[in-house]
Amino acid sequence: MRREEVDVLVIGSGAGGLSAAVSAAHRGLKVLVAEKEPVFGGTTARSGGWSWIPGSGPAVRAGVKDSREAARTYMAHEAGAHFDPARAEAFLDAGPKAVAFFEEKTSLQFDLGPTFADYHPKAPGGVDGGRSIVARPFDGRDLGPEIARLRPPLTEITFLGLMIGTGKELQHFFNVLRSPVSFLHVARLLARYARDLVFHGRSMRLMNGNALVARLAKSAFDKGVEIRTEAPARRLLTDEKGRVTGALLAARDGPVEVTARKGVVLAAGGFPQDVARRARLMPHAPTGHEHVSPAPPGNTGDGLRLGEAAGAAVNESLPHAAAWVPISRPRRKDGTLGTFPHFVDRSKPGVIAITRSGRRFVNEAESYHDFCQAMVARCREEGAEEPAAWFIADHRAFRRYGLGFARPAPVPYGRLVREGYLLKGETLADLARQIGADAAALEATVARFNEAAARGEDPEFGKGSTAYNRSLGDPDWKPNPCVAPLVKPPFFAVRLFVGDLGTFAGLRTNEHAEVLGEDGAPVPGLFAAGNDAASVMGGAYPGGGITLGPALTFGWIAARRMAGGND
């Protein structure tokens, strides 16, 4: 048995783990990051990369009007009975400090989403923008040979492998055939991407979560942190007093016993691919297989099981075990089914959602978390055997904005129709037949929607009624950027499943990111960050980046605690 000694052992290499590693290394601690898979970055590398951190430096510099009191009020309102005042205060206090640390001392830099509103901006303490920040795009060449170990982005949300930023850049792709400026912008991006493929085999223009991980990894490597891939943790090591002292890793060249003098951080990405725990905690997935997750295959709940074996408690009491998102399933070239999370198309004018009853059930432009809750509730109400819904669009909306994995014009879509991912009907009745929906009900639903949509209104569900709704609509469509009639045939549909963007149920922790036992006392030497820790939002989803923001913050807090610091 080989033996190694470090100050800090981090298990997992997403935002939470890398935040802890970089922060600890800057405090003079020797750090090892152990990653189960051959690539590093976890779910973060596949994500949109947004972090919800009120009062951050980018917001202050932009003159955003906000306050810690308003953010606390909003968190308390959203979490309800599951609000944890101590952890919330720690997050709100440390979040801006963590951002300042990363911006001043590391390669991690942020840009503000000034119009990226809270998901419930009309709720007490909610705001119309300024709390969500995103990692600045990064040149992958700056990682050197380590770029080969960076987890690539989720294939389905790229364009032929090209990462696309949200906001203005995405709008350029929508307007590529309508604006010379947009055409030139997209052409330059594609030319650069083609060059990268020739010389590097992948895009070197890293965006979103890929940029966040790359910047954190660059910062870790600069401080001498080793990220050891293909090194899963098999069990935690403890001493006679129950203190966690390290872990046994299964390295490629044999087992390694790693002693961690200051502590072990569990940051292995939660349990989105743990079928057994999904079956227990996700009511819509009674066998665990009904749920679809775009998370990496290695996120099988290792951190939670390691913690439990060391005496830690898992909080399974939250009202939602995960951050829900509607998922569609395009077929990949190898024949397997992919996962496309629907973030943007829900809000576009000319797109609605129905169940098999042929009726709408939600404001489609509300958050993906709220969308899935409404989807499951309606399907249960209708006695459906499984939660299922469909996005519907007419030809105008489909060719302008696309629908799920089916891209807007001029990208062809025939293959997706032949494979059954995209349904196409010359009439609404024809489309309903293919869905297995009530044709008369669908026709009545669309007729009722169209009557008000012609005026830019949605009296039934209020689509386009909040700043968050409108931020993802089409700013060029008036009077309501989220609402337009469905009138031009043919009509298109994509089936939706319930998926997740990360799990909420996790190890109980305190305001210092210390893992707690069943008695509520800290398990000595054990910390958790990211989705291995129970959500500080109490199982709610109040804004874009409420998984990554706390992950970065509590990783920083864990490092501060292990180093014995107070700032």
Residue 179 has pLDDT above 90, yes or no: no
CA distance 215 to 217: 5
Give percent of the chain above pLDDT 90: 89
Q: Which two tokens stand for residue 501?
A: 């963007």
Q: What's the CATH code of the domain at 496? A: 3.90.700.10
Q: Rounded distance, CA 19 to CA 32, Å?
A: 13
Gap between the Cα atoms of 411 and 399, Å rounded: 9
Q: Does residue 170 have a pLDDT over 90?
A: no
State how far the Cα of 10 lies from the Cα of 268, in Å rounded to an integer. Answer: 9
Which pLDDT band holds residue 165 (cuts at 50, 70, 90)? confident
> Do both 365 and 275 map to the same domain?
no
What's the confidence (pLDDT) of residue 159? Answer: 79
Residues 6+ apart with CB under 8 A from 250: 231, 232, 233, 234
Tell which phi-psi region holds residue 172, choosing left (phi > 0), alpha (psi between -120 and 50) or beta.
alpha
Please determine, for residue 298, whether its predicted confidence score (pLDDT) is greater than 80: yes
What is the average pLDDT across 194-213? 91
pLDDT at 83: 98
- 349 with 495, same domain: the answer is yes
Judge if 496 and 375 occupy the same domain: yes
E strands present in 87-160: 110-112, 132-135, 138-139
CA angle 217, 219, 223 (to 5 degrees): 115
Give 228's Cβ-side CA count (13 Å radius): 17
At residue 546, the pLDDT reads 97
Run of H or E residues at 255: strand 254-266
Same-domain check for residues 13 and 127:
yes
Q: Are residues 122 and 186 in the same domain?
A: no
Tokens describing residue 336: 């397997």
Q: How high is the pLDDT of residue 115?
A: 81
Q: Is the pLDDT of residue 153 over 80?
A: yes
pLDDT of residue 124: 98
Q: Give pLDDT tens digits for 507-562.
A: 999 999 999 999 999 999 999 999 999 999 999 999 999 999 999 999 999 999 99
Nearest CA among 359, 349, 365, 285 for reference residue 486: 349
Specify whether 244 is located in the same domain as 104.
Answer: yes
Same domain as 97, residue 171: no
The Cα-based distances of 490 to 399, 406, 427, 482, 486 in angstroms read: 11, 15, 6, 20, 10
The whole-number pLDDT of residue 133 equals 97
For residue 114, pLDDT over 90 is answered with no
Per-residue DSSP letter, 136: P
Rounded distance, CA 59 to CA 480, Å? Answer: 28
The pLDDT tens digits of the residues spanning 256-268 come to: 999 999 999 999 9
Rounded CA gap, 331 and 325, in Å?
Answer: 19
In sequence order, what E strands does 14-86 have?
31-34, 50-52
Q: What is the pLDDT of residues 433-481, one digit of tens each?
A: 999 999 999 999 999 999 999 999 999 999 999 999 999 999 999 999 9
Angle CA 88–558–212, to nearest 5? 85
Secondary structure of residue 404 in the 3-state scheme: coil
How many H-runs (helices) and E-runs (strands) does the chain carry? 16, 21
From the CB of residue 445, how many other CB atoms can be counted at a distance below 10 Å?
23
> In this structure, what CATH number is given to the domain that contains residue 254?
3.50.50.60
Pairwise CA distance, residues 471 & 171, whole Å: 12
Classified as helix, coil or strand, 563 is helix
User: Which of 377, 361, 362 shows the shortest CA–CA distance to 320?
Assistant: 377
How big is the chain, counted in residues? 567
pLDDT at 442: 98
**Burial of 304 by CB count in 10 Å (0-12 exposed, 13-18 middle, 19+ buried)?**
buried
Listed residue (552, 548, 532) closest to 49, CA to CA:
548
| Residue 461: domain span | 324-500
pLDDT value of position 90: 98
Q: By three-state DSSP, how is residue 431 classified?
A: helix
In the prediction, which pLDDT does 130 show? 95
Nearest to 97 by CA among 69, 118, 137, 68: 68
Report pLDDT for 558. 98
What dihedral do alpha carbons 544, 465, 115, 52 form, nearest 10°? -20
Helix (H) or strand (E) segment spanning residue 235: strand 233-238
- In the DSSP assignment, the letter for residue 538 is T
Task: Identify whether 479 is preceded by a cis peptide bond (ω within 30 of 0).
Answer: yes
Residues 94, 112, single domain; the answer is yes
Closest CA to 401 of 494, 523, 280: 494
Cα separation, 473 vs 442, whole angstroms = 24
Place of tokens 């995103």: 134
Looking at the structure, tell me whether residues 168 and 139 fall in a common domain.
no
Q: What is the pLDDT of residue 30?
A: 98
User: Which residue has better confidence, 420 or 163?
Assistant: 420
pLDDT tens column, 393-424: 999 999 999 999 999 999 999 999 999 999 99
CA angle 94/97/100 to nearest 5° reads: 150
Instruction: Give the three-state DSSP class for 18.
Output: helix
DSSP 346: G
The vertex-153 CA angle with 167 and 227, nearest 5°, equals: 125
566, β-bridge pairs: none
Tally of domains in the chain: 3
Q: Which pLDDT score is estimated for 175?
A: 76
**pTM (2 decimals)?**
0.95
Q: List alpha helices for 333-393, DSSP H.
A: 368-381
Q: Are residues 148 and 196 in the same domain?
A: no
Number of CB atoms found within 10 A of residue 235's CB: 12
Helices (H), ranges, 301-382: 302-309, 368-381
Tell me what the pLDDT averaged over the chain comes to.
95
- Whether 159 and 170 map to the same domain: the answer is no
Q: Are residues 75 and 51 part of one domain?
A: yes
Q: What is the sign, positive or negative, of the torsion defined by CA atoms of 445, 447, 450, 452?
A: negative
Cα dihedral: 327, 330, 331, 334 (round 10): -70
